[in-house]
Amino acid sequence: MSLWLALAIGNSRLHWAAFSDSRLLHNWDSDYWTAAAIAQFAADPASAGLSIASEVSLQAPVPLAIASVVPAQTDLWQQYPAQQILTLADVPLAKMYPTLGIDRALTLWGAICSLGAPVLVIDAGTALTFTAADRANTLLGGAILPGLRLQQQALAQDTAALPLVALQPDLNLLPPRWATDTPTAIRSGILYTLLASLQDFACDWLLQEPEGAIALTGGDSALLHQALSQQNPALAARIHRDPALIFRGIPALRNWSLI
Ligand SMILES: Nc1ncnc2c1ncn2[C@@H]1O[C@H](COP(=O)(O)OP(=O)(O)O)[C@@H](O)[C@H]1O
Ligand SMILES: CC(C)(COP(=O)(O)O)[C@@H](O)C(=O)NCCC(=O)O
Ligand SMILES: [K+]
């Protein structure tokens, strides 16, 4: 079985997937790696302790497809000997604009490959993004706002009195909307407005495309999907959550040859 990896570099951390030919075996997240760790992995992949099935033999260096929205990280990974950097030119979507994030393009393509078009992707990462395609795989566009942790951090960093709060101590319980203490007021403000944004974009999308699919991915997708299912169960049931969405379309990219 020949193994290769895909690495999506986000603004918070790394997202990984292990593939055997065009089959996605599994996916996981990690912190950023140092240059020394990358060099070590190139020479001796087993040393990295990746959680890959033991029946898979790792040849050094393991082929690696990279999609990055963080230029400093792209530079760091350029030294890896068996890498291929994915670009917008590899993604078979029409009408992409030149500065569109490769993560948004790939995640949209992944959603088309797994759910079909038209589709709206909601990526709750460092930034929360909405990205949609019509039935002809043409990018319709989307929107970008600060993600959950970024909103918490912005309040804590740029005000004198606001603390950094854990967003939801209990996943199964939405905070009271009308809070009477500061941490709960922050939780309420961030969570209910994120849910409102999500519902507003999703409703607009379904007006435009009543049969359109909706996919949700990213580090905050579990929390947001859980919160949405308490507030709007019917909408939550229509949304397909898939943490591996960005990887689903990689084997079907333009001119793809398993690097
Ligand atoms: N270990 C973690 N490190 C960073 N963010 C995390 C972690 N676990 C959960 N998160 C949540 O995931 C969000 C970032 O999503 P992610 O998809 O990892 O971002 P990116 O793709 O931009 O690196 C943050 O808003 C944060 O709340
Ligand atoms: C919007 C993003 C910052 C999201 O990055 P992420 O939260 O996944 O780390 C990234 O897709 C990006 O840098 N995009 C470029 C601008 C655009 O897509 O229009
Ligand atoms: K992302």
**Domain of residue 212, CATH code:** 3.30.420.40
pLDDT above 60 (res 53) = no
Out of 85, 102, 135, a domain closes at 85
Domain holding 56, by residue range, is 3-85
Q: Are residues 36 and 151 located together in one domain of the fold?
A: no
| Whether residue 103 lies in the annotated active site | yes
Closest ligand to 131 CA? 2
CB 192 within 8 A of CB 177: yes
Task: Give me the chain's average pLDDT, please.
Answer: 95
Q: Are residues 74 and 107 located together in one domain of the fold?
A: no
Write out pLDDT tens, residues 122-133.
Answer: 999 999 999 999
Out of 68, 85, 102, a domain closes at 85
Q: Is the CB of 40 under 6 A from ligand 1?
A: no
Q: Is the peptide bond before 61 cis (omega within 30 degrees of 0)?
A: yes
Quick one: CA torsion of 73, 219, 146, 159, rounded to 10 degrees?
Answer: -100
Q: Is the CB of 220 under 6 A from ligand 1?
A: yes
Is there a domain that residue 250 lies in? no
Domain count, the chain: 2
- What global pTM score does this model have? 0.97
Q: Are residues 48 and 104 located together in one domain of the fold?
A: no
Q: Are residues 72 and 145 located together in one domain of the fold?
A: no
Ligand 2 proximal residues by C-beta, below 6 Å: 10-11, 69, 99-101, 103-104, 123, 125-127, 129, 144
Write out pLDDT tens, residues 106-120.
Answer: 999 999 999 999 999
Q: Which pLDDT does position 213 carry in this prediction?
A: 98
Residue 49's pLDDT band, with cuts at 50, 70 and 90, is confident
Q: Are residues 116 and 218 located together in one domain of the fold?
A: yes
Q: Is the CB of 149 under 6 A from ligand 1?
A: yes
Residue 76's pLDDT band, with cuts at 50, 70 and 90, is very high
